């Protein structure tokens, strides 16, 4: 789901271009005050849904690129914006930013940073614009500081207990599950979720629940990066 490699098979009405398209993300990356793994996964997933459900994507200037991307292989790439300068730069690229979490604001060592994620309007994976070109995409890992602190969310994204993923990979998979949930749910549920700013809960599901509950949508990664072959990574419930 997050691989930039081309695919020649027809999907939902058109062939992937020789240069495939992706929805790219930038996450805030601060070595001194890192955000948590789970807050970052939730922020990326929320940003993805906020972008595809935005007025610009549904009926405005983003509609054509979003529709074209959704009609092909759905790819998502998560990059890291290291430091405040890079994080400020990515805000100039068209997209949607979500921030959540964080610890005490006094700057003491060990305080947890605020998770930030910006989803960008889908586009070809190359050439990259000058801002995104500066951001690294592989090996993005943030500390597993705590389980999700999100309560009462409309959507829960369950992560498979049988695999290990970096934060970047996991965030892309959670974003895909959230997108599939938004596309599959009825309009009243969509409206309720939107009114709640697309808050969602990400949790690693125990093996018993994973075996017994298939979820309402499932994400199977193609296996181009990190994972070996097609692998179910995430599911969503609502």
Tell me, yes or no, whether 109 lies in a domain: yes
Tell me, yes or no, whether 220 lies in a domain: yes
Distances 116 to 80, 168, 226 between C-alpha atoms, Å: 10, 13, 23
pLDDT at 4 over 50: no
Tell me the per-residue pLDDT of 17-29, one tens digit each, with 9 for 90 and over: 678 899 999 999 9
pLDDT at 58 over 80: yes
Going by their DSSP bridges, the two strands 123-124 and 21-29 should be labelled as antiparallel
pLDDT at 109 over 80: no
Place of tokens 């309560």: 151
Distances 53 to 41, 184, 232, 233 between C-alpha atoms, Å: 19, 13, 25, 24
**Beta-sheet strands, E only, within 6-154:** 10-11, 14-15, 21-29, 76-82, 95-100, 115-120, 123-124
Tell me, yes or no, whether 150 lies in a domain: yes
Contact 25, 118 (CB under 8 A): yes
**3-state DSSP assignment of residue 60:** coil
Tell me, yes or no, whether 5 lies in a domain: no
Phi, psi of 204 (to 5 degrees): -80, 120
Going by their DSSP bridges, the two strands 10-11 and 14-15 should be labelled as antiparallel
Contact 44, 79 (CB under 8 A): no
Tell me the per-residue pLDDT of 199-227, one tens digit each, with 9 for 90 and over: 999 999 999 999 999 999 999 988 777 88
Tokens encoding 159: 């992560």
Tell me the per-residue pLDDT of 137-190, one tens digit each, with 9 for 90 and over: 888 999 999 999 999 999 999 999 999 999 999 999 999 999 999 999 999 999
State the residue range of the domain holding 184.
10-237
Tokens encoding 82: 């290291």
How confident is the model at residue 74, as a pLDDT? 87
pLDDT at 106 over 50: no
pLDDT at 107 over 90: no
Tell me, yes or no, whether 3 lies in a domain: no
How confident is the model at residue 216, as a pLDDT? 97
Radius of gyration of the chain (CA): 17
How many structural domains comprise the chain?
1
The mean pLDDT value for 128-132 works out to 94
Place of tokens 């965030």: 171
Tell me, yes or no, whether 2 lies in a domain: no
Contact 237, 163 (CB under 8 A): no
Nearest to 39 by CA among 153, 134, 171, 152: 171
Tell me the per-residue pLDDT of 67-100, one tens digit each, with 9 for 90 and over: 999 988 889 999 999 999 999 999 999 999 999 9
Tell me, yes or no, whether 4 lies in a domain: no
Tell me, yes or no, whether 160 lies in a domain: yes
Give the dihedral of Cα atoms 212, 215, 216, 222; nearest 10 deg: -120
pTM: 0.89
């Amino acid at each position: 789901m997050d691989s930039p490699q081309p695919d020649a098979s027809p999907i939902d009405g058109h062939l992937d271009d020789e240069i495939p398209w992706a929805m790219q993300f930038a996450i805030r990356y601060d070595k001194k005050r890192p955000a948590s793994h789970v807050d970052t996964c939730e922020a990326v997933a929320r940003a993805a849904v906020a972008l595809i459900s935005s007025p610009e994507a549904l009926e405005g200037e983003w509609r054509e690129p979003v529709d074209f991307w959704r009609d092909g292989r759905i790819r998502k790439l998560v990059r890291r914006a290291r430091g405040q300068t890079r994080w400020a730069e990515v805000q100039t690229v068209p997209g949607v930013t979500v921030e959540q979490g964080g610890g005490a604001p006094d700057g003491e060592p060990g305080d947890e940073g605020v998770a930030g994620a910006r989803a960008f309007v889908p586009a070809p994976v190359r050439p990259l614009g000058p801002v995104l070109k500066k951001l690294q995409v592989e090996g993005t890992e943030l500390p597993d500081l705590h389980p999700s602190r999100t309560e009462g969310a409309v959507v829960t994204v369950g992560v498979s207990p049988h695999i290990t993923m970096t934060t970047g990979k996991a965030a892309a998979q959670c974003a895909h599950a959230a997108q599939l949930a938004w596309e599959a749910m009825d309009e009243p549920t969509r409206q309720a979720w939107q009114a709640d700013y697309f808050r969602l809960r990400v949790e690693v599901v125990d093996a018993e629940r994973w075996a017994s509950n298939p979820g309402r949508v499932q994400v199977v990664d193609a296996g181009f990066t990190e994972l070996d072959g097609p692998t179910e990574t995430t599911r969503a419930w609502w």
